[in-house]
Structure 1
Amino acid sequence: MSESGATSGSFASLAHRMLSKIIDQEALSDLTHTPSLLKGLLNMGLGRLGFQSSQKPSDHQTVILFVVGGLSILEIRDMLNEIDRSGEPGMTYILGGSVVLTPQDVVEGVFA
């Protein structure tokens, strides 16, 4: 297995690689947590002083991964296999997308 969670020589979608990093509790530098309450803002300020580490999606029991533009059935299958592989009790992963893509949709999108 490579660090993306895919076997050597195989393709792993961006959504699959992101899910793998979330499950493996790696830092995702492109994602930021924006607190909405005063307490959250104060904690964020203290975090900059070294009192608190930055939050990761895996710090929460429920992770929602929604892909604008959609997911193919193969991407969904690969991500479900990744979730099964992790075997983390108490974690809930919600996968979603704006559409479930068929192979024809992918071909039309590439050659449009």
Structure 2
Amino acid sequence: MGIVPIWGYQLVTAIGLAHFFKLNKPIVIVAANISIPPFIPLWLYASFKTGEILFNEKIIIPQLDEINFDVIQQHLMLYSVGATVFAFLLAFVLGCISFGAFKLIAYKAGEE
């Protein structure tokens, strides 16, 4: 939920989904906080690239001094859809990795 473009509601949504799916809320809170400043450029780039693939549209990301409201408005749909799809893909991949790791840990714990 940390990548989905619902700024300000990401954590609330993550906690609500954790409650609905009966997940471990502290782990969900930690996992939802991936939008920390060092990772934001990576998430933005990956979201735009995902949007480019989905819309079959190539965009050139402008320099910081060239960004204005018109540029944001022009690429908002591409970014929003790209960020949402990228978030779900990343959640699926990391969920599979986590599931496998937890199964491996449980298997190793059963051997001892």
| Bucket of the pairwise TM-score, normalised by the shorter protein | 0.3 to 0.5
Report the structure, 1 or 2, having the larger strand content. 1
* TM value normalised by structure 2: 0.32
Calculate the TM-score normalised by the size of structure 1: 0.32
